[in-house]
Amino acid sequence: MKANYQPKPPLLVNAFMAFYIMHDLQVGVGINGFQRYIYMYAKHDSWVSVILVGLLVHLIVFLILKTLQLYGSTDIFGVHDDVFGKIIGKVFNAIFIVYCLYATLITLINYIEIVQSWIFPETPIWLFSLSLFLLMIYGITGGIRVIIGICFFNVIISLWVLFLLLFPLKYADFSQLLPVLDTNPLGIIKGTYRMTSTVLGFELFFVLYPHFKEKSKVQLYSHLGILISTIVYVAIMVISIAYFSPGQLVSNIWATLTMFRISKIPFIERFEYVTIAYWMIIILPNLMFYMWSAIRGMERSFKVVEKKSLLIFSILLFVVSLFFKTRLEISRLNQLFVPIGFYLAFCYPILLFFLAFIKRKWKSNKEQAL
Amino acid sequence: MRQYKKWLLVFIILLLTGCAKPKTLEKIGLVTTKGYDLEKDGKIKGSLVILTVDPNAKQKTTIITTKALTARGNRIHSDVMSSKKLLSGQLRVVLFSEAIAKHGIKPFTDTFVRDPSISDLIYMGIVDGQTEDLLGIVNNQIPDVGQHIYKEIDHNVRWSLIPSSTLHETLQGNYAVGKDPVLPILKKTKNRVRISGVALLKDNKLVGKLNFYQSYYVRTLQSPLKSGAFEIPISGESLGLTGDHLPHKQLAVALDTVLSNPKIELINKENLEFNLNLKINARIQEINADIDLKSPKTIQLLEREIANQMKKDIRKIVAYCQSVQSDPFGLGETYRSSVRHANLNRKKWHKIYPKAKVNVNVKFTIAKTGIVE
């Protein structure tokens, strides 16, 4: 496998799409109920944790793109191959593929749990799972441009959801945010750690990068995307702290949805039904991007035809998704994902950057010596 | 071949639509109000007011009363007494008898908040007497008692005559560190429903009651308001006035609040001392004595007179709330949000709250006297 990977021109998209992709990847199913985990540790200073995570993501994405720029046009699979050699590189690629599948599964199962808990308690899991997989396969066979297209429209037409945040303001008591920075720093850092799993998604730029046309502008647009998602997360966190009292926030599994449900519009009384159904459109690109990254890795690293691995992975994940039925099981699955996501998406890119940097330096020195 | 595959996909998706359980309006009974009483043997007596959708029905509502150990149990027992499947998506009001509220409403609020079909904006209330009697009011001026109670509470909350008591606010008060919720008290009076005051809660339990006159102050002290109306008795000595043309002889002013702004200040952290400042701008609507409102001096005297009376009333209410260890004004929230590293929790707050010193300051301004002077 060659480290450098240049997709054909029809598979390229403009760099400004990085903004939409980044925002969409970061805002997924986690936004419905991230508050309680952070609040447990950081209390009413949770919004500080959210800002810290935002800053951290800026740093990591900067390093991710710098790593890839060392090679001109490549993805994580090519970097692994170059840095670690053929065999160990393949092992790392396999880990990344498994991680992508895990992320797909988490998104899928958490969404299905929301629908089952809020709207259709009797409807079986396989039904939701199957319909989502059909949509996923349909989108992924269309290719990367179709997925990015869905993602673009998704961000544009989802803007109205933000207006729902105005309804809870009527019951908000902003004095609950005071005194500012009262929690001990350790609590805030623990909250930051828990928040990392919510903002995941940016690590897929490792795979998407070759598909951008103007590589020099990707950095700018992706940071803009991170900025917007961080603002959205901070806004939701601040309003949640003001709207709920501490005990409520800690016991509520889906605090954001609970806030949205008090919206009353003359022609529809229970707005959360619309929001939850609509959320499928929001998570669909996330599912597709993760799945696509996994099958991309299979093709790049193991030379498996895309369609074949898509079918195998879909069937595999579909079967696995049927086993997660209770809140306890799903909660355990999510808990396990927190350290994995943290180490793979937050710590590993830093390490990889230095390894790739040293390797490149060493190589060019050797070439010069010759 | 490709075309064929695409249509197959569409066909499969169409097949998936019939899998959720349908809920036909004619086949369900919409529960609009729930009331809970305590039976002598410790069981819960639940009364459900059910709205009938059938336009030909003579009675608009049905009431089913059952006995069970839990609130959900009442629903199950009611289901086997009803011709329709009962659903609580349209629930508007939940009432508790005083007896049951004294034992705590936590199990009830807990089951409501657990159920996604129940809105967070339903009103909670306490009934002076039996809720079954209140919901069973037969009065041809009230065709639907459930709707009647809901609208009665709703408009009074909107016009700030009573504190708002939605499920969300009740829970927020119950879980907050330095705040306790209040619920309106409803009473069956002359075959009608009357809001007779507010109930004070502490840790989900009913601990005290304030009358309707006092409930105005509770609402005014909770948050800034732009509406509200009240009648205040004053002594007319400084004005040289008595309501002598009336048999009652009590001088009183009826006022309409234009703007009220409460402010709680913590002035001493160690010995716990608060300043409770209240600014009210109001319109005079009626005064039951012959008085010249043209003279600025009279207005000033009247303002002072009313402010003094308010101070007295508020002091009395605060003292009563402290004696029952319930904090509806949120003094504890002020303490928590202005003292760093206070590590306040509910238990600690309820322990130190009764000993707090509260200074009441009222600044009352007569903004207008109507369209004549």
From B218, B236, B251, the end of a domain falls on B218
Helix (H/G/I), strand (E/B), else coil: A305? coil
For residues B160 and B192, membership in a common domain is answered with yes
Predicted confidence (pLDDT) per residue in A173-183, tens digit? 888 888 888 88
Partner A contacted by B8 (CB < 8 A): no
For residues B238 and B304, membership in a common domain is answered with yes
Higher per-residue confidence, B290 vs B241: B290
Q: Is the pLDDT of residue B20 over 70?
A: no
The residue assigned the tokens 């306890």 is A328
For residues B66 and B190, membership in a common domain is answered with yes
Q: What chain B residue is nearest to A124 in terms of C-alpha separation?
A: B19
Q: Which two tokens stand for residue A88?
A: 């160990």
For residues B248 and B314, membership in a common domain is answered with yes
Domain containing B84: what range? 26-218
Task: Tell me what pLDDT residue B4 has.
Answer: 74
Helix (H/G/I), strand (E/B), else coil: B200? strand
B233 pLDDT band, cuts 50/70/90, is: confident
DSSP of B212-259, one letter per residue? HHHHHHHHHHHS-BS--EEEEE---TTTT--BTTSSSB--EEEEEEEE
Q: B90 to chain A, minimum CA–CA distance in Å?
A: 10
> Measured between CB atoms, which of A138, A173, A179 is closest to B340?
A179
ipTM of this predicted complex? 0.85
Specify if B151 maps to a domain.
Answer: yes
The residue assigned the tokens 């992508």 is A100
Q: How far is CA A65 from CA A186, A252, A311, A361, B163, in A?
A: 30, 37, 31, 17, 56
Percent of chain B at pLDDT above 70? 93
For residues B177 and B229, membership in a common domain is answered with no
From B183, B218, B253, the end of a domain falls on B218
Specify if B93 maps to a domain.
Answer: yes
Handedness of CA A227, A231, A237, A238 (dihedral sign): positive
For residues B186 and B114, membership in a common domain is answered with yes
Which residues of chain B does A244 touch, with a Cβ-Cβ cutoff of 8 Å?
Answer: 172, 175
B198 pLDDT band, cuts 50/70/90, is: very high
Domains observed in chain A = 9-369 (1.20.1740.10)
Task: Tell me what pLDDT residue B240 has.
Answer: 67
A193 pLDDT band, cuts 50/70/90, is: very high
* Highest mean pLDDT pick, A161-170, B49-58, B240-249: A161-170
Specify if B34 maps to a domain.
Answer: yes
Residue type, A22: M
> Measured between CB atoms, which of A124, A171, A269 is closest to B169?
A171
Report the DSSP beta bridge partners of residue B201.
Answer: B206
Specify if B20 maps to a domain.
Answer: no
For residues B212 and B318, membership in a common domain is answered with no
Q: In this structure, what is the dihedral angle of CA atoms B124, B125, B126, B131, given to the nearest 10 degrees?
A: -90
Task: Tell me what pLDDT residue B16 has.
Answer: 61
B244 pLDDT band, cuts 50/70/90, is: low
Specify if B14 maps to a domain.
Answer: no
Q: How many domains does chain B have?
A: 2
CA B219, CA B159: separation in Å to the nearest integer?
Answer: 11
Predicted confidence (pLDDT) per residue in A23-51, tens digit? 999 988 888 889 999 999 988 899 999 99
Predicted confidence (pLDDT) per residue in A139-189, tens digit? 999 889 999 999 999 888 888 888 888 889 988 888 888 888 888 889 999
DSSP of B22-79, one letter per residue? P--GGGEEEEEEEEEEE-TTSPEEEEEEEE---TT-SSSEEEEEEEESSHHHHHHHHH
Q: What chain B residue is nearest to A170 in terms of C-alpha separation?
A: B169
Q: Is the pLDDT of residue B243 over 60?
A: no
Task: Look over chain B and give the mean of its residue pLDDT values, rounded to a whole number.
Answer: 85
B285 pLDDT band, cuts 50/70/90, is: confident
For residues B55 and B118, membership in a common domain is answered with yes
Burial class (CB in 10 A: 0-12, 13-18, 19+), A322: middle
* Highest mean pLDDT pick, A40-44, A289-293, B249-253: A289-293
Which residues of chain B does A176 touch, with a Cβ-Cβ cutoff of 8 Å?
Answer: 176, 333, 337
Which CATH number belongs to the domain containing residue B365 in this structure?
3.30.300.210
Q: Is the pLDDT of residue A76 over 80?
A: yes
Q: A300 to chain B, minimum CA–CA distance in Å?
A: 27
B245 pLDDT band, cuts 50/70/90, is: low
Q: How far is CA B234 from CA A219, B231, B250, B373, in A?
A: 72, 10, 8, 20
Q: Which two tokens stand for residue B305?
A: 């007179």
Higher per-residue confidence, B284 vs B19: B284
* Average pLDDT of span B27-31: 86
For residues B252 and B194, membership in a common domain is answered with no
Q: B323 to chain A, minimum CA–CA distance in Å?
A: 25
CA B11, CA A184: separation in Å to the nearest integer?
Answer: 57
Task: Tell me what pLDDT residue B90 has.
Answer: 86
- Asked whether B35 and B131 are in contact (CB, 8 A), the reply is yes
CB within 8 Å: B116 and A272: yes
Q: In this structure, what are the phi and psi dihedrals at residue A192, rounded to the nearest 5 degrees?
A: -60, -45
Eight-state DSSP code of residue A162: G
From B197, B218, B239, the end of a domain falls on B218
Q: How many CB atoms lie within 10 A of CB B184?
A: 26
Task: Tell me what pLDDT residue B283 has.
Answer: 85
For residues B180 and B229, membership in a common domain is answered with no
> Measured between CB atoms, which of A138, A176, A178 is closest to B9?
A138
* Average pLDDT of span B84-90: 86
pTM of the model: 0.89
For residues B211 and B229, membership in a common domain is answered with no
CB within 8 Å: A119 and B19: no
Element containing residue B287 per DSSP (H, E): strand B273-287
Q: Is the pLDDT of residue B120 over 80?
A: yes
Higher per-residue confidence, B287 vs B245: B287
Which of B157, B203, B336, B347 has the most A C-beta neighbours within 10 Å, making it the best mutation to test the interface with A? B336
For residues B251 and B208, membership in a common domain is answered with no
Q: What chain A residue is nearest to B338 in terms of C-alpha separation?
A: A179
Which residues of chain A does B120 touch, with a Cβ-Cβ cutoff of 8 Å?
Answer: 258, 261-262
> Measured between CB atoms, which of A244, A262, A272 is closest to B121?
A262
Handedness of CA A189, A195, A200, A202 (dihedral sign): negative
Chain A positions touching chain B (beta carbons under 8 Å): 117-120, 122-124, 127, 130-131, 134, 138, 171, 173, 175-176, 178-179, 182, 244-248, 258, 261-262, 264, 269-270, 272
Predicted confidence (pLDDT) per residue in B220-232, tens digit? 888 888 888 888 8
